[in-house]
Chain A
Amino acid sequence: MAVPIKHVLGILVDNLRIRESVMPLSRRRSIGWAKGLNIPKGGKTVIYTGLMYQLMPSIIAMEKMTSKFADSWISNFYGLGRAINKVISITPFMTWTDAAEKEIFDRILRNIAKLLQVADVDFGYLYEEELYAGALVHDEGINDVFEAHTHKVYKRLKKHNIEKVITVDPHTTDMLKSVYPKIIKDYQLEVKSYLEVLAESNLHPVKRIEQDIVIHDSCVYARYEGIIDQPRQLLENAGAKIIEPLNTKKMTYCCGGPVESLFPIKARTIADNRIEQLASVGKNSVTMCPICFINLKTAAEKNDFSVKDISDYLVEAYCDH
């Protein structure tokens, strides 16, 4: 018995339609990371998290549950779960998350905001008004619901007179930069990944990274958006030696993450294959996407191999603590 694709997708799409996110998050979960950073509300330029990093602990929990129940009698009840979820959100019960995992993803967002502050970028944040950009529903081909959601997101941005967004992950970057303009007429929004913004700034390292780092490009950054040089430039400027694995840049190899919600076992195999490639050329690796990060980090647990988000390296090199 396989995972019931229809019901898993149904729960995600119902959540987006009813609760504006594939997995609803509490206010604290969504914006808690920004506490103490004194980021103003709104502004012409905003950091746009698209809730991707905040969603990761829930996605991990869902993947664990899907793996556990994929071949059990419990999978017969996904349909019932979906029916209940339309009335009462069951996602928090399906995705019981770990505090330590939440802290890792909050730290990454804090790193990114600190780096933008050190680079003298003038930016605000929409806090609880920020919406998920809809990448998962778009990728699964639920176009009708996705399109309706894009209009909600754009309307929200325009309500706050936002002209430029700085994205923090490849999936939200691709949505806002390349997918939304094909759907929304007269779309006017400048979209840049924080890696592009930092690479164009005058950031100077305060500490050198004395390490050889194996780089793992995100498929979406490299093949969809052509963001390849910026992470290398930022790491090399701080003294890191970049090691290119077998599949790299435009020929990068997927982390398996895109199928983790429906086929966690297949996702794990892909991640294991990628870890084998990365670990054959070094001991420390860097990722720049929350999905790559968690998939590869989990796969690397059995190896003596480190997987770090790029912001962890950059904050050490460019921010004076």
Chain B
Amino acid sequence: MSKVNPDFVVKISGFTEFNAFACMNCGSCTALCPMGIDLLPRRMFRHVMLGLEDKVLENTENVFSCLLCKMCEENCPKDVPIVENIKSIRWYINREIFKLGKG
């Protein structure tokens, strides 16, 4: 069972601000994703906002599979900065888990 941690979103925002609070879960992003990743971006963003770090880390491969093509962002009715959010999660994993990028 995962524990909710509201501080996690602050940790993810260490380099650029993670901002998915306007997301209303309409599913346009998931429907249009060329990669067909069911989890990205809306469910992943929900994991971040709830602070479910273990859920985020379980899906590291999906996080790095995003094409950053912005098809989802172009069609997001709430203008969520999806690509920047994905990069924030990557930044966190690179720094805290892979120990890359501190040199």
> B98 at the A/B interface (Cβ < 8 Å)?
yes
- A206: chain B residues within 8 A (beta carbon): none
Q: Among B69, B89, B94, point to the contact of A223 (Cβ < 8 A).
A: B69
**CB <8 Å contact, A143 and B67:** no
Q: How far is the CA of A140 from the CA of B70 in the complex (A)?
A: 15
> A262 at the A/B interface (Cβ < 8 Å)?
yes
Query: How many contacts A-B (CB < 8 Å)?
Result: 90
- A13: chain B residues within 8 A (beta carbon): 100-101
With A17-B103, A142-B100, A270-B35 known to touch, is A251 a contact of B91 (CB < 8 Å)? Answer: no
Q: How far is the CA of A189 from the CA of B101 in the complex (A)?
A: 27
- A254: chain B residues within 8 A (beta carbon): 34, 67, 69, 71
**CB <8 Å contact, B91 and A143:** yes
- B90: chain A residues within 8 A (beta carbon): 140-142
Interface size in chain B (residues, C-beta < 8 A): 31
Q: How far is the CA of A253 from the CA of B89 in the complex (A)?
A: 24
Q: Which residue of A lies closest to B37 (CB)?
A: A266
Give chain B nearest CB distance to A5 CB in angstroms.
Answer: 5
**CB <8 Å contact, B68 and A258:** yes
Q: From residue 51 to 103 of chain B, which have CB atoms closer than 8 A to chain A? A: 60-61, 64-71, 73-74, 86-91, 93-95, 97-98, 100-103
**CB <8 Å contact, B34 and A273:** yes
Q: How far is the CA of A237 from the CA of B30 in the complex (A)?
A: 39
Give chain B nearest CB distance to A201 CB in angstroms.
Answer: 29
Per DSSP, chain B at the interface is helix
**CB <8 Å contact, A219 and B69:** yes
Q: Using a CB–CB distance below 8 Å, which chain A residues touch chain B?
A: 2, 5-6, 9-10, 13, 17, 138-145, 219, 223-224, 250-251, 253-254, 256, 258-259, 262-263, 266, 270, 273
Instruction: Please give me the 4 A-B residue pairs with the lowest Cβ-Cβ distance, nearest first.
Output: A141-B90, A254-B69, A141-B91, A6-B98
Q: Using a CB–CB distance below 8 Å, which chain B residues touch chain A?
A: 15-16, 34-35, 60-61, 64-71, 73-74, 86-91, 93-95, 97-98, 100-103
Subset of 13 A-B contacts with CB under 8 Å: A5-B98, A13-B100, A141-B88, A141-B91, A142-B91, A142-B101, A144-B95, A223-B71, A253-B71, A259-B67, A262-B64, A270-B35, A270-B67
**Told that A141-B88, A144-B101 touch, could you supply 9 new A-B pairs with CB distance under 8 A?**
A2-B61, A6-B100, A9-B94, A9-B100, A141-B86, A141-B91, A141-B93, A143-B16, A223-B74
